[in-house]
């Protein structure tokens, strides 16, 4: 039987647990970095040849073709379960509605002195979407990455995904790709897929940005290639924090904690509560509910190592803890959840009330489920339309406007010792 820690928050007792929690996102194993670095270099130098060699090595066989035909993508949609397609379409509608509200307009600011300033916003030219295959194949991730990219105006969306054992693509992923308007799909995975997208090969187009989740090799490749190409974020293990008072339903809380614990043995699920009764009953509910869940072993290991029930004296203390931990997912199971919106500053996504469970955000409600982890919600934001755009400013000055500004510009340039900068202004007058 597993054991989930209960810790009385007193400013000291919880610190050891929080320290262990942070260790989950430690430095990547040097051997992983060395392996990934070699794969990246091979793909950079040898292109398709290296990609095929690594696909054969890691996946066991090469797919019939590296690119999935448009016909196969369309057939996957045609042959898919109608209930599944309708669910994806409903989710797509919600996700698109939310992300359409994030769009920004270019602007032009003409001034009375003839000066014109402005900003131009447009979508990236080409984006690569990495989608894991096998047991970790999540069509919802296709929706969450592809929809904001398309809304942002990305001209071409390239998806890469590892082939199944029969050498074909996961049909559920193809259904999501068809629904979201993914332009091209290629069958390759791992660090070699990330490198192929970053550098381009004879077959795989070079992209401007790579998004999407993956294993440690994929995450390391994205980290190493950042700068050669843009990336979304380096995602750590999944995490949830539930704030609860005595009005919360322990059955709901237990279920929500386990919904994140089942992701990964390193996942973190934490209850912060002001109620000893709720704490006790949540423990009992976890023991009862976990017995019928398929990923029981993963859930129990996750909860035992990185789960905890933190008992607070006040709601203010709970808020302070939540902001300190900056969790990926934050549920507020409090009597008046809406009153906490303005106080919870550090969280990827906040779920308010007992009928807004975390899986609602994972699949359906509309806000993105690609969220900052490992405390990075203190300074990172969820994936959004902004993640897929670039901005340029532009400046137009008349001769008279520059004449009026020239002395200030020259003064600053000369203070910095950049006399050629100053000369660029002086020479005009």
Per-residue pLDDT tens digits for 157-206 = 999 999 888 888 899 999 999 999 999 999 999 999 999 999 999 999 99
CA distance from start to end of the chain: 83
Q: Does residue 322 share a domain with residue 227?
A: no
Q: What pLDDT sits at residue 80? A: 95
Per-residue pLDDT tens digits for 322-355 = 999 999 999 999 999 999 999 999 999 999 999 9
Residue with tokens 């995490």: 239
Q: Does residue 300 share a domain with residue 203?
A: no
Q: What pLDDT sits at residue 165? A: 84
**Rounded CA gap, 36 and 32, in Å?**
6
Q: Does residue 219 share a domain with residue 132?
A: yes
Q: Is the pLDDT of residue 27 over 60?
A: no
Q: Does residue 57 share a domain with residue 16?
A: no
Q: What pLDDT sits at residue 29? A: 75
Confidence of residue 235 (pLDDT cuts 50, 70, 90): confident
* Cβ 261 vs Cβ 233: under 8 Å: no
DSSP helix/strand/coil, 159: strand
Q: Is the pLDDT of residue 134 over 80?
A: no
CA angle in degrees (0–180, nearest 5) for 69-132-260: 145
Q: Does residue 170 share a domain with residue 68?
A: yes
Sheet strands (E) in 289-343: 308-311, 329-333
Q: Does residue 252 share a domain with residue 219?
A: no
**Rounded CA gap, 170 and 175, in Å?**
9
* Cβ 237 vs Cβ 268: under 8 Å: yes
Per-residue pLDDT tens digits for 278-313 = 999 999 999 999 999 999 999 999 999 899 999 999
263, 329, 331, 369: the active-site residue: 329
Q: Does residue 410 share a domain with residue 373?
A: no
In a domain, 148, yes or no: yes
Q: Is the pLDDT of residue 2 over 70?
A: no
14, 285, 300, 328: the active-site residue: 328
Per-residue pLDDT tens digits for 272-285 = 999 999 999 999 99
Give the phi and the psi of residue 61 in degrees, each rounded to 5: -160, 160
Answer with the one of 206, 231, 256 that is the final residue of a domain.
Answer: 231
Q: What pLDDT sits at residue 58? A: 87
Instruction: Print the domain residue range for 56.
Output: 47-73+123-231
Known catalytic residue: 328?
yes
How many domains, the chain?
Answer: 3
CA angle in degrees (0–180, nearest 5) for 161-166-170: 35
Q: Does residue 141 share a domain with residue 197?
A: yes
Q: Is the pLDDT of residue 136 over 70?
A: no
Residue with tokens 């559920």: 172
């Amino acid at each position: 039987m597993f054991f989930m820690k209960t810790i009385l928050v007193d400013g000291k007792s919880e610190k050891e647990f929080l320290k262990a929690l942070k260790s989950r996102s430690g430095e990547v194993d040097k051997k992983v970095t060395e392996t990934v670095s070699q794969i990246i270099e091979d793909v950079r130098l040898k292109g398709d040849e290296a990609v095929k060699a690594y696909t054969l090595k890691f996946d066991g066989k090469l797919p019939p073709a590296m690119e999935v035909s448009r016909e196969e993508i369309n057939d996957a949609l045609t042959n898919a379960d109608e209930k599944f397609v309708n669910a994806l379409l409903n989710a797509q509608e919600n996700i698109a509605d939310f992300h359409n509200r994030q769009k920004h307009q270019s602007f032009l600011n003409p001034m009375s002195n003839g000066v014109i300033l402005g900003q131009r916003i447009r979508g990236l030219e080409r984006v690569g979407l990495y989608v894991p295959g096998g047991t970790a194949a999540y069509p919802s991730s296709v929706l969450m990455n592809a929809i904001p990219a398309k809304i942002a105006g990305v001209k071409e969306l390239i998806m890469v995904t590892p082939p199944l054992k029969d050498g074909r693509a996961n049909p559920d992923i193809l259904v999501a790709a068809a629904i979201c308007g993914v332009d091209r799909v290629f069958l390759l995975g791992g660090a070699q897929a990330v490198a192929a997208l970053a550098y381009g090969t004879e077959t795989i187009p070079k992209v401007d940005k790579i998004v999407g989740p993956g294993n440690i090799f994929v995450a390391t490749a994205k980290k190493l290639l950042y700068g050669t190409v843009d990336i979304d974020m380096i995602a750590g293990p999944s995490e949830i924090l539930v704030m609860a008072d005595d009005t919360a339903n322990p059955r709901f809380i237990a279920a929500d904690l386990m919904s994140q614990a089942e992701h990964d043995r390193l996942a973190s699920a934490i209850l912060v509560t002001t109620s000893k009764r709720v704490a006790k009953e949540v423990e009992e509910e976890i023991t009862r509910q976990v017995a019928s869940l398929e990923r029981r072993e993963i859930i129990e290991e996750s909860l035992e190592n990185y789960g905890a029930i933190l008992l607070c004296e006040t709601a203010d203390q709970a808020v302070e803890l939540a902001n300190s931990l900056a969790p990926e997912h934050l549920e507020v199971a409090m009597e008046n959840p809406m009153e906490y919106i303005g106080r919870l500053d550090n969280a990827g996504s906040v779920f308010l009330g007992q009928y807004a469970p975390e899986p609602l955000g994972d699949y359906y409600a509309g806000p993105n489920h690609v969220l900052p982890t490992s405390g990075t919600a203190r300074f990172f934001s969820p994936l959004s339309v902004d993640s897929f755009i670039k901005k340029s400013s532009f400046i137009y000055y008349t001769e008279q406007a520059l004449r009026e500004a020239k002395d200030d510009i020259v003064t600053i340039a000369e203070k910095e010792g950049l006399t050629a900068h100053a000369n660029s202004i002086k020479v005009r007058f």
